[in-house]
């Protein structure tokens, strides 16, 4: 019988022999840019020629599932061992954002992995090919060591995440029985920092909206008309100032979250956001009385993303006829985004700002999700990671950013535990995207240890 440490060591030996890098090179070489309209064949080939065969080799049965949106199908794979054992659903995305080949540093290319010290450059190394490849490799390692996993696994891979996951939510609603599981364990996004293994349990939502004030046709000379005509820019600036104060505190009651739950506050107590090389955090910004971690992971933010009146590039001495602004609410679980517009309308009307129009933006709303940090699955995964790395992982109730976790947390009603293998400065979605070799190696150890432990725990149950 192989021990836990033998199994992890075998996985690390496989990694150190270059097998993981070789696999990643092959996968990164596939130009799976879902934002390119002619990429259909490459997207499909990633599933059919790359992931499917790899899963077959690990005893999975796989097939393609129609995409309800009409886009590229999903890959679904299953390894069923025993109905009395728990079932894990895992997820990844094989598509990447556009390569932007010309913008990479000289000597680098999005489609060829270049190793420079600890950095492994290439499009998708971090987001998300490297991450799901590590998880599938860890499953294969535990299987090779033990002959069976000791639990059941379902794998879902999509090829449209970078275009907003078209069809994913509808697929989860349609295939609820197929995807039935005890937990989602998946990897995407960054750790809190390169050196701190991290769990996150959901994501903040994002709701964008437009404000506009449109008073008349054409501009009028500010000398002849200043003092006589209402200025839309002034009205809009005052409207925004009534919604969020000069230090970023949200003033619209309906856009503020419920109090931070004690378990969330406790999980955030040892979290320090920020990254070396990143911008300095403004200590006096946001909701007073909250720590920086509470502000970005436990609270809502109202951001002015764009504001326009007159002609900002070439101002003229005229009262502009109109003004517009584009704003965003980043919101935590527990907020009802469908009530945001009505709350804003009522807020403006109460202040005599009926001239300010408010409308939801056309962009898709990202929903907010959050699993309670005290949930048994969180504690189980955290304990396993601590056993492998010797340190307690950071537990983020949710990411500050967004990902399609509502498909799993709401449509499938699963507890969701994400174990990211990247770090904040990975240049995801930008030129020079890279994975850190050291973090990937530790990620493989973490996942191998976790899958080993889940099989053991299931056998003992």
CA distances from 180 to 152, 173, 408 (A): 11, 11, 10
Nearer to Zn ion, 127 or 287 (CB): 127
Nearer to Zn ion, 50 or 127 (CB): 127
**CB-based contacts of 379: which residues, under 8 Å, 6+ apart?**
none
- Rounded distance, CA 445 to CA 9, Å? 8
**CB-based contacts of 232: which residues, under 8 Å, 6+ apart?**
213, 214, 215, 309, 320, 321, 322, 323, 355
Tokens of 441: 């190696």
3-state SS, residue 200:
strand
Give the footprint of Zn ion on residues 362-421 (CB under 5 A).
Answer: none
Tokens of 30: 């596939």
Q: Which stretch binds Zn ion (CB under 5 A): 49-57, 126-134, 282-290, 363-371?
A: 126-134
Residue, CB closest to Zn ion: 127
Nearer to Zn ion, 127 or 442 (CB): 127
Q: Which stretch binds Zn ion (CB under 5 A): 57-65, 124-132, 195-203, 319-327?
A: 124-132
Nearer to Zn ion, 99 or 415 (CB): 99
Q: Which stretch binds Zn ion (CB under 5 A): 70-78, 123-131, 297-305, 401-409?
A: 123-131
Nearer to Zn ion, 132 or 295 (CB): 132
Shortest Å, Cβ 34 to Zn ion:
10
Nearer to Zn ion, 86 or 130 (CB): 130
Q: Which stretch binds Zn ion (CB under 5 A): 22-30, 119-127, 250-258, 368-376?
A: 119-127
Shortest Å, Cβ 231 to Zn ion:
41
Tokens of 165: 């996951």
Strands of 357-360's sheet in order across: 301-309, 322-331, 205-214, 357-360
Shortest Å, Cβ 93 to Zn ion:
7
- The single residue among 127, 287, 294, 453 that binds Zn ion, judged by CB under 5 A, is 127
Shortest Å, Cβ 428 to Zn ion:
6
* Residues recorded for the chain: 461
Q: Which stretch binds Zn ion (CB under 5 A): 13-21, 120-128, 231-239, 272-280?
A: 120-128
- Rounded distance, CA 147 to CA 400, Å? 39
Site string for Zn ion, 3-42 (x = CB under 5 A): ----------------------------------------
Q: Which stretch binds Zn ion (CB under 5 A): 79-87, 121-129, 278-286, 404-412?
A: 121-129
Nearer to Zn ion, 58 or 422 (CB): 422
Shortest Å, Cβ 250 to Zn ion:
28
Nearer to Zn ion, 43 or 327 (CB): 43
Q: Helices 232-243 and 340-350: crossing angle, nearest 10°? A: 120
- Rounded distance, CA 240 to CA 306, Å? 12
Other Cβ atoms closer than 10 A to 125:
31
Nearer to Zn ion, 334 or 401 (CB): 401
SS3 content of the chain, % helix, strand, coil (to 5): 35, 20, 45
If we measure between CA atoms, which residue out of 440, 370, 209, 372 comes closest to residue 304?
209
If we measure between CA atoms, which residue out of 377, 374, 414, 420 comes closest to residue 397?
374
95 binds Zn ion (CB under 5 A): no
* Total residues at interface with Zn ion (CB under 5 A): 1
Tell me which residues touch Zn ion (CB under 5 A). 127
């Amino acid at each position: 019988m192989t021990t836990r440490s033998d199994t992890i060591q075998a996985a690390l030996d496989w990694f150190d022999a270059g097998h993981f890098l070789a696999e990643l090179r092959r996968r990164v070489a596939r130009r799976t840019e879902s934002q390119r309209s002619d990429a259909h064949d490459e997207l499909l080939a990633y599933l059919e020629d790359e992931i499917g065969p790899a899963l077959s080799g690990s005893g999975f049965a796989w097939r393609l599932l129609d995409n309800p949106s009409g886009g590229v199908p999903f890959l679904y794979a299953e390894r069923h061992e025993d109905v009395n054992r728990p079932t894990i659903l895992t997820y990844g995305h094989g598509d990447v954002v556009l390569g932007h080949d010309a913008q990479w540093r000289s000597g680098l290319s999005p489609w060829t992995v270049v190793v420079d010290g600890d950095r492994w450059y290439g499009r998708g190394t971090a987001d998300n090919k490297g991450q799901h490849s590590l998880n599938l490799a860890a499953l294969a390692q535990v299987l090779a060591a033990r002959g069976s996993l000791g639990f059941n696994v379902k794998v879902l891979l999509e090829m449209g995440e970078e275009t907003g996951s078209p069809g994913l939510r509808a697929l989860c609603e349609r295939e609820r029985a197929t995807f039935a599981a005890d937990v989602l364990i998946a990897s995407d996004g960054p750790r809190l920092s390169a050196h701190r293994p991290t769990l996150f349990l959901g994501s903040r939502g994002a709701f964008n909206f437009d404000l506009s004030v449109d008073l008349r046709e054409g501009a009028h000379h500010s000398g002849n008309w200043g003092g006589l005509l209402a200025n839309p820019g002034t009205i809009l600036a005052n409207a925004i100032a009534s919604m969020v104060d000069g230090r970023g505190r949200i003033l619209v009651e309906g856009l503020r979250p419920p109090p931070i739950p004690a378990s969330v506050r406790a999980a955030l107590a040892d979290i320090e956001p920020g990254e070396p090389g990143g911008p300095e955090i403004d200590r006096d910004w946001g909701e007073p009385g909250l720590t920086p971690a509470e502000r970005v992971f436990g609270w809502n933010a109202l951001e002015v993303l764009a504001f326009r009146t007159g002609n900002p590039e070439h101002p003229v001495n005229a009262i502009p006829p109109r003004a517009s602004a584009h704003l965003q609410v980043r919101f935590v679980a527990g907020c009802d985004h469908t009530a945001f517009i009505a709350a804003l309308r009522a807020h403006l009307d109460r202040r005599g700002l009926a001239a300010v129009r408010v409308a939801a933006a056309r962009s898709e709303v990202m929903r907010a999700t959050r699993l309670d940090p005290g949930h048994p699955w969180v504690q189980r995964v955290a304990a396993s990671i601590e056993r492998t790395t010797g340190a307690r992982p950071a537990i983020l109730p949710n990411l500050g950013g967004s990902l399609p976790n509502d498909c799993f947390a709401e449509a499938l009603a699963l507890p969701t535990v994400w174990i990211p293998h990247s770090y904040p400065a990975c240049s995801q979605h930008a030129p020079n995207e890279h994975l850190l070799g050291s973090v990937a190696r530790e990620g493989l150890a973490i996942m191998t240890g976790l899958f080993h432990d889940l099989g053991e725990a299931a056998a003992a149950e």
